[in-house]
Chains A and B, each alone.
Chain A
Amino acid sequence: MDQQLKIELSQQGIFATTMEELYNWGRKNSVWPLTFGLACCAIEMIATTMARYDLARFGAEVFRPSPRQADLMIVAGTVTKKMAPQVVRLYNQMPEPKYVIAMGACAISGGPFKQGYSVLKGIDRYIPVDVHIPGCPPRPEALIDAFITLQKKIDAQALTGEARPRHLRDDTPSEFPVPTYGAHDLQPAKNPTLWHITTNATSPKPLPTGTDESGRD
C-alpha cells in the first residue's frame, strides 16, 4: 500500500494494514529467546532480563529452554571449538523464522581469547548472524539496543521480491552443516558458503609489516 495514502488514512482515524505488516508486527513483538548462555556475557544477558533492565517489556521474557520453541539465539559468550558443533546444532533445531544475536566480542571474533588453540574466531563462520553487539561484556542496555535493532530489522523485511528473508526462499538453507572434531582443529574450520571476508580486509593493502616475515614454509 502506498505509504502516503496510509498516513493520510491514519490521520483520519483509519488504520490500514497489510498481511505483511501484521506478520512482521507479530514476529517482532514476540521474539522468544533460547535459554542459552555460554560465558561471561550470559550473566549480563540474565541481568538484562532481571528487574532493573527487564527485557520482558518487549515481550521477550519467555526464555524457552527448548530450541524447538525459540525464535532467537543470543550467542552470549565465547564459542569454543568444542562447543561450536553444539551451537550449530541448536541453531539447526530451531524452527524458522529464527534470528541470531552475537553478543560480545568473543561471539563476534573470539575477542580477547582469539589467539589460541581452542576458541572459535567468530560464530558467523558457521551460522548467519543478524545483529552483532560489541562489548566485553556488553552492558544490558547494549543488549536491549541489539534487541530493538533486531525488531527494526524484522519490521523492515519485505515478504516478497528478491529481498525477502531467508526462511521464505527455497534456494537458501535453514540448516547449516555441523563441523566435526578433527585431530588438530574443527573440520571444516569455516562454512565457506556462509562466511565471506569483507573486501576491505582482503584488499592487498599491506599490513604494517615491521619485519620481513617469511613465516613458516
Chain B
Amino acid sequence: MSTSMEASTPAAHQGFADATMIDHESDLLQISLGPHHPSTHGVFRMDVVLDGERVVKLKPVFGYLHRNHEKIAESTTYLASIPYTDRLDYMCSLSNNWAYALSVEKLAGLQVPERAEYIRVIAAELTRLQNHASTIGFLMQEMGASGTPLMYAFREREKILDLFEALTGSRMMCNYMRFGGCRVDLPAGWLDQARKTVDEYPRFLDEFESLLASNEILLARTQGVGVLPPKLAIQGGVTGPILRASGVNYDIRKVDRYGIYERFDFKVPLGEHGDVYDRYMIRMLEMRESLKILDQALHQITPGPIIDPKAKIRGFRPKPGEAYGRIESPKGELGFYLISDGTPNPYRYRVRPPSLINLTVLEDMCLGSSLADTVVIFGTIDIVLGEVDR
C-alpha cells in the first residue's frame, strides 16, 4: 500500500479547505467554505474571513458547476433546449419548462389552449410545494437537526414526484412543456391522485409547523438573523420569497398575470422583519397559498386540446426579433431572453437565474454574524447550483 502520508502536500488540501495554512500574523482566520462542504447545496464556495467566529468578509466564488448551458442552447434548436432547462434548477424542472416555453411563445406569438394553461399551473404549483418543503428541510439540516425534518419533507416530495412521474415519465427531469402547450395529456386517474395528494398535504404542513414553529432553539437561531432591509433587497435585484419576506409586495404571478393566474383566488404573504425566520415562514405560508391555487385549478380544469394545433414543433423558426419572458419560479424571477435570427437555432439564449442574483446580497446579510449563522442565512436564500452557474 502506498502511503498517502508523504504525498499529501499542503496543496492537496486547497480544494477542500485551504485549511492547512494558518496566518500567524493577524488574528483573522481565512477559510474557504466549499466547493465541497456539507451545507453549500452543491459546489458553491464562500471565501470567508473570520474574526473569532464573526464573519468580517465574505466573497462568493461561482463556476464550479458552469455547464455552458447557454452555449449549447445557441448551437441547437429551440425544441432541443427544453431538456436542458430541466437541468437548470433541478429541483423544479417544470417551472423552468414553463418559463422557457413562455418566452418562446412571446417570441413567436403563440397561443396556449386553456387546458394546457391549467396543467401548467398545476405542475408549477406542485413544483413550488416540493421545492419549498425541501428547502425548509435543508434549512433545518443546516441548523443541525440530524436529518429528521429533511426526511419528513422528502417523504412528501416523493408523493409529488410520483405525480410528475405519472404525468411526464420522469421524476425530476420532466421535459414536459412545449411551445403552445404541453407534450401529453393527463393520464387517466391522474387528477384524482393529484387531488388526494393536495388534500393530504395540509396535514403534513400542520405537523411540520407544530414540530418546528414554536421550537425555542429554532426561534433563537432564526429570529433577528440575516436581516435584509427592503431597500437593499430591491437594489440587489432579489426576487421570490426572500424579497417578500422583506416586506416588498412583488409577485410576478400578480404583477404580470401570466398564464391564467388572474382566475385564481390567492394571496401573497409578506414578512416584516426580513430575517431568516420570516423567510422560513413565508415559504410555509406560500405553500398554503399554492394549495389554494391547486385546489381551484384541479376542480376547474376541463377537457380540451393541450397544444395549439398551429404550433410547429419540428422545424420551428421564429421571425427575427427578441423577447424576454419571466415567471415566478419557486426561487424568484426566472426569465429567458431569446433572440431569433430566423434560423432554427436561437442567436442568443440567456437565462436570468434567480438563484445567482439573490446571492448578490449574501455578503450584506452575513457580515457581523457568526459562521453558524452564515450557513443558515445561506440556506434560506435557497439556491440551486445548476441555475447559479448554468
Q: Which residues of A contact B (CB under 8 A)?
A: 35-40, 42-44, 46-47, 50-52, 65, 67, 77-78, 80, 82-83, 85-86, 89-90, 92-93, 95-96, 112-113, 115-119, 136-137, 139, 167-170, 172-175, 178
- B370 in the interface (beta carbon within 8 A): no
With both chains docked as a complex, state the minimum distance between the C-beta of B365 and any C-beta of chain A, in angstroms. 24
Asked if B4 and A174 make an inter-chain contact with CB atoms under 8 angstroms apart, the answer reads yes
A-B contact pairs, 28 of them (CB 8 A): A39-B87, A39-B385, A40-B90, A43-B90, A47-B158, A51-B154, A52-B154, A52-B155, A52-B158, A80-B66, A80-B67, A82-B64, A83-B43, A85-B15, A89-B13, A89-B16, A113-B67, A113-B72, A116-B71, A116-B72, A117-B71, A118-B66, A118-B68, A167-B1, A168-B1, A174-B3, A175-B8, A175-B12
Q: Which residues of B contact A (CB under 8 A)?
A: 1-4, 7-8, 11-16, 35-38, 42-43, 63-69, 71-72, 75, 83-84, 87, 90-91, 150-151, 154-155, 157-158, 171-173, 385-386, 389
With both chains docked as a complex, state the minimum distance between the C-beta of A147 and any C-beta of chain B, in angstroms. 18
Asked if A92 and B173 make an inter-chain contact with CB atoms under 8 angstroms apart, the answer reads no
Closest B residue to A170 using CB positions:
B2
CA distance A85 to B2 in the complex (A): 21
Please classify the interface of chain A as helix (H, G, I), strand (E, B), loop, or mixed, using the class held by over half of its residues: loop
CA distance A71 to B65 in the complex (A): 24
Asked if A92 and B4 make an inter-chain contact with CB atoms under 8 angstroms apart, the answer reads yes
With both chains docked as a complex, state the minimum distance between the C-beta of A71 and any C-beta of chain B, in angstroms. 14
With both chains docked as a complex, state the minimum distance between the C-beta of A142 and any C-beta of chain B, in angstroms. 11
Q: Give the interface centre of A35, A43, A51 by most chain B CB atoms within 10 Å.
A: A43
Asked if A137 and B2 make an inter-chain contact with CB atoms under 8 angstroms apart, the answer reads no
Residues of the B chain whose Cβ atoms lie less than 8 Å from the Cβ of A95 = 4
With both chains docked as a complex, state the minimum distance between the C-beta of A120 and any C-beta of chain B, in angstroms. 10
CA distance A80 to B65 in the complex (A): 6
Residues of the A chain whose Cβ atoms lie less than 8 Å from the Cβ of B91 = 43
CA distance A116 to B14 in the complex (A): 27
With both chains docked as a complex, state the minimum distance between the C-beta of A39 and any C-beta of chain B, in angstroms. 6
CA distance A29 to B36 in the complex (A): 26
Residues of the A chain whose Cβ atoms lie less than 8 Å from the Cβ of B150 = 46, 50
Asked if A39 and B42 make an inter-chain contact with CB atoms under 8 angstroms apart, the answer reads yes
Tell me which of A44, A82, A93, A167 contacts B66 (CB under 8 A). A82
Asked if A137 and B172 make an inter-chain contact with CB atoms under 8 angstroms apart, the answer reads yes
Give 19 A-B pairs besides A90-B16, A93-B13 with Cβ atoms closer than 8 angstroms.
A37-B43, A38-B43, A40-B90, A44-B172, A51-B155, A52-B155, A78-B67, A80-B65, A80-B389, A82-B66, A83-B35, A86-B43, A93-B4, A112-B87, A113-B67, A118-B66, A118-B67, A175-B7, A175-B12
